Amino acid sequence: MVGCFPAVLKADNAAAHYAKRIAEQARRRLGCAITWCPIGHWEHNAVVERLFKTLETYGFQRLPSTTGSNTEDSIKEKPIEQATKIGITWEALLDLADILVASYNVTSNRGLGGQSPLEVLVNQLKLDEPLFLPRILPPATLEQPELGVIVETRYIRGNQKKGRRPYIQIDRVNHTSPVLSHSFGLIGTPIRVHIREADMTVVNSFLESGQELGSLRAQGRWGRTPHTREMRKQIMALVDAKELALGAGDDPVQKLLEYYASKAYRDVLKRPKSVSKSATKLANAANVSGLAIPSATTPPANNQPIDIGSKPTRPIPSTINSPAWKSVT
């Protein structure tokens, strides 16, 4: 049901599920209780485990590139080579999961008395006195935004005497808007910023009074292409380590893809039958940004930075030892 949310959220008893985003933010936004299942007792989460079994048995384990259910599974046969040969896309996997979940919801279940999950919901809603009421969430607020959005405080910077228009900085990138850039009286004022880390090109801002200040876009080249917060931090780390060179007009996200492509090509040369972490990062970055994957090029020699900028470099004098560049993972 669209817009209907649960009263209880069950989670595995894993360290990741104790994170603040689940234990506090998800609980407060959804207005539900959270229960952590006992360790080693899958039966407490039988519905989810049953769905995972369906996804594996009737979906992913039937693909040519499956790794099987265990190391001795006879159905797996060179999964990495099959995956490389076939080239399964992210969209195809999402479609497969969508079909399997839809089929699960309309298939009769012996545990439900021969009814499908959707039939159980329909029958409950058709009762003269329904046993439950659909829980519709209230609109998001300043302090309780939508899931996937974090709230941080930033101070407005700028200098009217020097002609520096107001802006805020997030992870070393300036964000502003036509409204904020003309509000010199707000310089030094703290504001609340709603950051959707899945796309850092635009953030929403509010004054401490709750008044909306509007959307703030990343300035210059950082506002061109969608990118996640993790991608932005990775770019900054690579630049600091001098493994990535950015020209004045370069798109940082495009250059990050070129960097990943070069490293993935190097990984293939070293271990052609292994999974490349750089290739995985490349695929994720391309999916987020919408950019095409760059063509593979010959990687640079050992101990040399991958310089993909347009800035020329000078040769190192023979009296200076060749530097050992720091590797960022």
The token pair at 122 is 């329909």
What is residue 152's three-state secondary structure? strand
Q: Is residue 205 part of a domain?
A: yes
Q: Which of 136, 167, 188 is the last residue of a domain?
A: 136
Residue among 182, 202, 180, 206 nearest 193 (CA): 206
Predicted local confidence at residue 311, as pLDDT:
42
Taking only Cα atoms into account, the Rg of the chain, rounded to an integer number of angstroms, comes to 25
Integer CA distances (angstroms), 97 to 12, 93, 102, 178, in order:
21, 6, 9, 43
- Whether 141 maps to a domain, the answer reads no
70 with 110, same domain? yes
The answer to the question of residue 208 being in a domain is yes
Q: Same domain for 18 and 132?
A: yes
Residues 103 and 178 in one domain: no
In a domain, 228, yes or no: no
Question: Token pair of 134, please?
Answer: 């659909």
Q: What are 211's two structure tokens?
A: 């008044």
Q: Which of the two residues, 8 and 202, has the higher pLDDT score?
A: 202
Residues 27 and 132 in one domain: yes
Say yes or no: 170 and 263 in one domain.
Answer: no
Say if 263 falls within a structural domain. Answer: yes
Q: Give the number of domains in the chain.
A: 3
For residue 253, is pLDDT > 90?
A: yes
Sign of CA dihedral 66, 70, 72, 74: negative
- pTM of the model as a whole: 0.74
Per-residue DSSP letters for 62-93?
GSTT---SSTT-TT-S-HHHHHHHH---HHHH
Q: What percent of the chain has pLDDT over 70?
A: 88
Q: Domain containing 292: what range? A: 239-329
In a domain, 102, yes or no: yes
Say yes or no: 164 and 254 in one domain.
no
Give every CB contact of residue 211 below 8 A, 6+ residues apart in sequence.
none
In the listed set 193, 223, 253, which residue is the last one of a domain according to the structure? 223
Q: What is the pLDDT of residue 297?
A: 57
Q: Do 169 and 206 fall into the same domain?
A: yes
Are 132 and 255 in a shared domain?
no
21 DSSP assignment: I
The model's confidence at residue 126, banded by pLDDT at 50, 70 and 90, is confident
Q: Are residues 251 and 209 in the same domain?
A: no
Q: How far apart are CA 238 and CA 218, in angstroms?
A: 20
186 & 211 share domain: yes
Asked if the model's pLDDT at residue 169 lies above 80, the reply is yes
pLDDT of residue 190: 96
**DSSP secondary structure string, 158-179?**
EETTTTEEEEEEETTEEEE-HH
Q: Is the pLDDT of residue 186 over 80?
A: yes
Cα separation of 298 and 263, whole Å? 10
Find which of 116-125, 128-137, 199-208 is predicted with most confidence, using mean pLDDT: 199-208
Contact predicate 96/88, CB 8 Å: no
Domain end: 136, 169, 201, which one? 136
pLDDT for the residue 318:
53
At residue 294, the 3 state secondary structure works out as coil
Residue 87 φ then ψ, to 5°: 70, 55
Q: How far is CA 155 from CA 55, 152, 190, in A?
A: 47, 10, 4
CATH code of residue 84 = 3.30.420
**In the prediction, which pLDDT does 309 show?**
43
pLDDT surpasses 60 at 329? no
Under 8 Å between Cβ of 285 and 253: yes
- Provide the pLDDT confidence category of residue 189 given band limits of 50, 70 and 90: very high
Q: Are residues 201 and 244 in the same domain?
A: no
The whole-angstrom separation of Cα 98 and Cα 234 is 32
* Alpha carbon separation from 60 to 69, 97, 180, 221 (Å, rounded): 10, 9, 49, 39
**Both 168 and 265 in a single domain?**
no
In a domain, 119, yes or no: yes
Asked whether residue 159 is domain-assigned, the answer is: yes
Beta bridge pairs of residue 136: 4
